[in-house]
Structure 1
Amino acid sequence: MEYFILWQDLSILNPIIPLKTDLDENFVCSSVFGEVVEKENAVYLDYLDKPRRIVSDDLKALLMKYEDNLGFTAIVFTDVKKGTQRVYWLMDIVKKDCISHETAYYPDGGIKELVIDPKKVELDCIFEVAGQKEAFTVINLDVAESILRRPFLGIQLQRVRLESK
């Protein structure tokens, strides 16, 4: 099986910018309100990395078809100045300790090249790989192909190397 890191496309210059929300890593509730700033011609992306993993309704529906143990919390993005609101979803996914000993690191501990041990992934289609400094959302080939067949905006995929046997 092949795996890919799911990234927010940073080449899009005018995405919405989520401001402070009332959530932290341990916050649990049924919905959250978050203020955003819409620049002129702002683009609502289907995937945001920051402040946490946030997905659109359409992307949420697709991901749920592949993985039934995903958790989602509604977040309502509100632009107070423009008077607009959109529903997005904070994504909570399974964390896997599957980083291979072949992974390359920068001197500061950040991951230079992620390599995963496929034996530790089991049958999960969507999971998080947590490094020392960052976390990666990883999807398998089936999910990646489904995403690429649809008109999602703001998503980049990067192939992950698997540990050599």
Structure 2
Amino acid sequence: MEYFIVRQDQSITNPIIPFKTDLDDNFVCSSVFGEVIEKENAVYLDYLEKPRRIVSDDLKGLLVKYEDNLEFTAIVFTDVKKGTQRVHWLMDIVKKNCISDETAYYPDGQIKELVIDPKKVELDCIFQVDGKKESFTIVNLDVAESMLRRPYLGIQLQRVKLQGR
């Protein structure tokens, strides 16, 4: 099986970014409000990496078809001045300790090239890998192909090297 890192497309220079939310790392609730300001020509991306992993309603619908153990918390992006709201979802993903010894690191501890051990992944289609300084959302080839067949905005996929290959 092949795996891919899901990243927010940094080439999109005008994404909506929530600048105020009522959540922290230990937040547990059924919904959250996130305040945004819709600047001219700003776009809502289907995948945001910060402040946490946030997906659009459409992308959530696809992901739950592949992985039934994903948990989501609704986040309502609100522009108070314009009076608009959009529902997105905070994503809670299964964490896997599958980083291979073949992974290359920069001197500061960040991952230069991620290599995962496919034996430790089991049958998960979507999971999270935590490095020392960063974490990655990983999807398998089936999920990646499904994502590419749809008109999602703001998503990049990067192939992950597998141990021994």
- SS of aligned partner of 1:156: strand
**Moved runs in structure 1, 4+ residues, more than 3 A?**
none
In structure 1, runs of 5+ residues without a counterpart are none
Distance 1:126 1:47 in 2: 14
- The equivalent residue for 2:31 is 31
Residue of structure 1 in register with 2:61 after alignment: 61
Paired with 2:29 and 2:101, the residues of 1 have a C-alpha distance of 37
Deviations 1:80-125 (A, max 9, x none): 1211100000000000000000000010100000000000000000
Match of residue 72 from structure 2: 72
Aligned to 1:161: 161
SS at match of 1:17: coil
Match of 1:102 in 2: 102
Deviation at 1:20, TM superposition (A): 2.0
1:128 equivalent to 2:128? Answer: yes
What is the match of residue 143 of structure 1? 143
The TM-score, its normalising length taken from structure 1, stands at 0.98
Q: Which moved more, 1:31-40 or 1:125-134?
A: 31-40
**What is residue 112 of structure 1 aligned with on the other side?**
112
TM-score scaled by length of structure 2: 0.98
Shift of 1:59: 0.2
Corresponding letter in the other structure for 1:115: V
Please say if 1:52 is aligned against 2:88. no
- CA distance in 1 between counterparts of 2:110 and 2:48 reads 21
CA distance in 2, matches of 1:138, 1:31: 25
User: What SS does the corresponding residue of 1:76 show, helix, strand or coil?
Assistant: strand
CA-to-partner distance for each residue in 1:2-31, whole Å, 9 max, x for gaps?
000000001011110111211111110000
Which piece of structure 1 moves more, 17-26 or 96-105? 17-26
State the secondary structure of the residue aligned to 1:58.
Answer: helix
- How many pairs are equivalent? 165
Distance in 1 between the 2:164 and 2:20 partners?
43
Q: Determine the C-alpha separation between the residues in 2 that align with 1:116 and 1:87.
A: 33
Runs of 5+ unmatched residues, structure 2: none
